[in-house]
A and B are shown apart, each in its own frame.
Chain A
C-alpha cells in the first residue's frame, strides 16, 4: 500500500504538535509528512517569547530541530507561504510556485495580532508581538527608545509589557477596558494586579481609547486619547488580541465563521472531509481557542481521526494559571460569576497583597469559577473540583483562606482525587482505570498491575496506586488489609513494633514466630530495613544478605544492564579539589560514565561486580565513605554556600548541613530521606521540597518537614521556628525515629504525614510537646543507631570473606559477555538493542 501524503500548512506550536503526535503513532510509517512555514525557522515556544528579553535566544525557544524532522523523514520547507488551495484536486500551491498534492491537508496557520484601526498605527516604531522576527524588531527599536507603550492590558499585553520592561524601557500599558485582564479577572483581582504591577514600575492607564498617533514633542510619538489626555512615547506595541489566520481557507472556499475562523467539527475536519484545521485558526462550536493547550488537544484529535481513531474535540477549559511580570495570577471557569444565581466567597488581604474569590453555584455545592491573584496555591484543588463537578467540602471558605497556625491547608486526600487524575505517568493510568480494575475483581497490587500496568514502569507510583486500591476496596465494602505480603498478616508498622518490643534480631526468627512460607522480595527487604533501623548492624552479615535487594547487597545501584553505579558521600556538597581529582581519576581508570546528581554529589556509572571492591578501595583510601545511594536511607543534605561566602547568607548552612549529614548518614528508613539546609530565606538549597528542610533566619533555624520533589511534589510544612542547633537536632531525631517506627513500607514522609491522623498538629504534639511521652525513647534509639554507624564499604573492602561475593562467576574469572557500550558525548553508555550487534562486533 502506498503511503498517505499529509501536508501541514504552518509549523507553529500546534502544527508541530500534530506532526510529533503523528510520528509517535504506531501507524506513523503509513504516512509521508510535508510541512510549510512562512517563518524562517521551525516551531518555537511562543508562550515563552518574553524570555527572549531576559537572555533566552531563538535557539532556546525551539521546540524541535531540522535534524529531528530529517531523522524522522518529515519534509519541511521554510520561508514558504502556501498561497493557493485546490480542494477539488487535493493540491496546494506555495509562494514560490511549488505544487504539492495531498491525501490529507492540515491547516495550522495560527493567528495574527489585531492592530486597532488608529490613524498613525503604521509607523516605523509601531510593532506587534507574535514571532521571533517581531522580537528582533522590538529589540532594535527598544535600543533607540526610552519609553515604550503596550496597547492592550490582557494576558498577551502584560507579557509584552514584561518584554519592554526587561529591555530597560519606561513601560506603560494602555487599556480600553476599566481593568487589566478583563476577560480572566474580576474587579477585585484586576485591581490588585494593577497595584502590584504599578509597584513594579509599570504605568497602567485604563479606560483609554487611542484616537491617533502623531509626532511627539519630547518623544518620537504622541498618543492622543479620546478623553483629551495624551501620552508621549518612543515606541508602541500593539497587543490588543488575536485574529484567526484564515485567509487561505477563506479565499479558496472553506467554510468560515461570521467573525472569522475556519469552521471545524468534533474531529477537527473542515467542511471538506480531508481538510483539517487545528489551533488558533480553527472555529469550533462558535469559539476560537487562543491558548496552546486546546490547540494541542485538537492536534491529538486530528491525528486520531487520520489514523482511524475516534477521539473527539469537546471544547476546552480555559482556566489558566500564570506569572505575569512576576505576579501569580489564576483564573478558573466563570471568573465573573455570570452563572445565574452564583454566589461567592472573597478573601482580600491588602497587607500581603493576596486576592482570592471563589464563585459557587446557586445551591452552594459546586465550584463554578475562581480568581486568584498573589497566591495561586489553591488553583489545583479548585480546578479539579470544578472540572470533575465534585461537591464542595463542608466549609468552602477554607479552600481560599490561609491555613491557621498549626493546621494544614485544606487539601484533598486520595479519595477526593477525581477519576481523571493520572496516577501512573509511565503508562498513563488514571484513578478511574484503577477503580474499574478493582470493580472487576482486582483486589491486590499484583492484579492491579496485571490489569492496568500501573506502577510497572518506573514503579514510582506504587504507593499512590496502593492507596487508590485500598480506598476503593474500602469504598466497596472490602476489609482492607494492610498486610505487607502473603507471608505476614501485619503492616510494616506492626512488624516494626514486633521487632522492637520482642527484640527480634533475624528474619528467620520473625518468620518462624509471626509469618509463614519462605518470605519474598517484599517482606524480606522490609524486615531488613526494620532490623537495620533498630539494631543497625552491618548489612552484609550472612543472615542479612539474602534479605536485601541487590543494591544493598552489593552496595551500589543496579543499572539496566546489570552493572552498578557508585556514589560516594559528599556531605553538604562540599568537596576539596583533591577529592574531586580522585573521583575523576577513578572514573577515568575504570571508564565510568560520570554525572552530577541532584543531591550535589557525583554518580559514577557502569562498574561491574568485580570492579566494585577495587574502585571502592581507592575511594576509601582517599577518604571517601559510602553515600548510601543504594539504600532506603538518608541520602544527602543539600546546602547553599551560606554565610561563609554569600553576601546574603544569614548563617553557615554548609557547616550545619555537614553536621546533619554526618549525624544521620546510614540511617535505614521506610524510604529514602533527603535533607537540605539554606543559609537564608532566599532558599537556594530548596529545603522546602525535602523530607527535612532547614532554613536560617535572623533568630535561629526554621525546621520544615515532609516536603517532596519528584513525581508528586509537596511543599514541606513548617514544624518549628527560630531554633538553636541543639534543639533542632533533638526535634529531627524524634521526627525521624517516629517516622521510621510508624510509616508503611516505601512511604515517603510526605505521604506518611498526609495519612497521619491529626496531621501536622499531631506531629507537632509528638515531636515538640512530647504528647506520647516517647521523646526520650526516640532520642535514645537515634543515639544507639548513630553509635553503630559504620561505612559499609570500608568494612567490606577490609574483609576478604565479604569480597568473595563480588565476582560475576563463582567458577570463572570471566566477566559478563552480554555487556555492550557505545560512546555518546565523549562518554560510554549501554548500547540500545539496535546498536548492540554492531557494538559487539566492534569489540571483537
Chain B
C-alpha cells in the first residue's frame, strides 16, 4: 500500500467527522509522513508505524462527536420513499438505461473494429486474386477506417459504461446512508 492509498482509506473512514476536524487529521498524518520521509524512512516503514487507516481513524475520532442526524429514521425513510417514487427511481432507471446503452455501444465498438479488419483482409485477398481494382482499393480504405473508428469507440464507451454504473451505485449507497441517518462511520 502507498501513502496515497492509505490516506484515501483514512479519509473515507473519517467521513463521519466534521470537515474541519477531518482536515486536521489528514494534515497531521501528512506532516508526519513528510517528516519521516525527510528522516530517511521508507514508505513501508512509515506506514507500519501509522497502523491501519481504520485504527488511525478510530483514534482520531476519540473525543469527537459526529454531527447528529436530522430527524428520525422513520421520517427519513418516508421522505426518501416519496422522493424515490417520483424522482429517485426514474433517475436511476434513466442512468441505468444509459449505462446499458453505453455497454451496447461498447460491444458495437468491437463489432465495428472486427468488421473493419475483416473488410480490409477480405478485399486484400480479392486484390491478390483479381488484381488491384479501384473499388477493391477503396474497400481497403473503408476497412481500415472502420477498424480505427472501432478502436476509438471501445475505450470511450467502456469508460462511459463504468461511469454510469458507478453513478447508480453511489446514488443507492448515499440513499442507504441517509436513511440510516449517518455518513460512513469508523
Q: Is this pair of chains taken from one and the same complex?
A: no
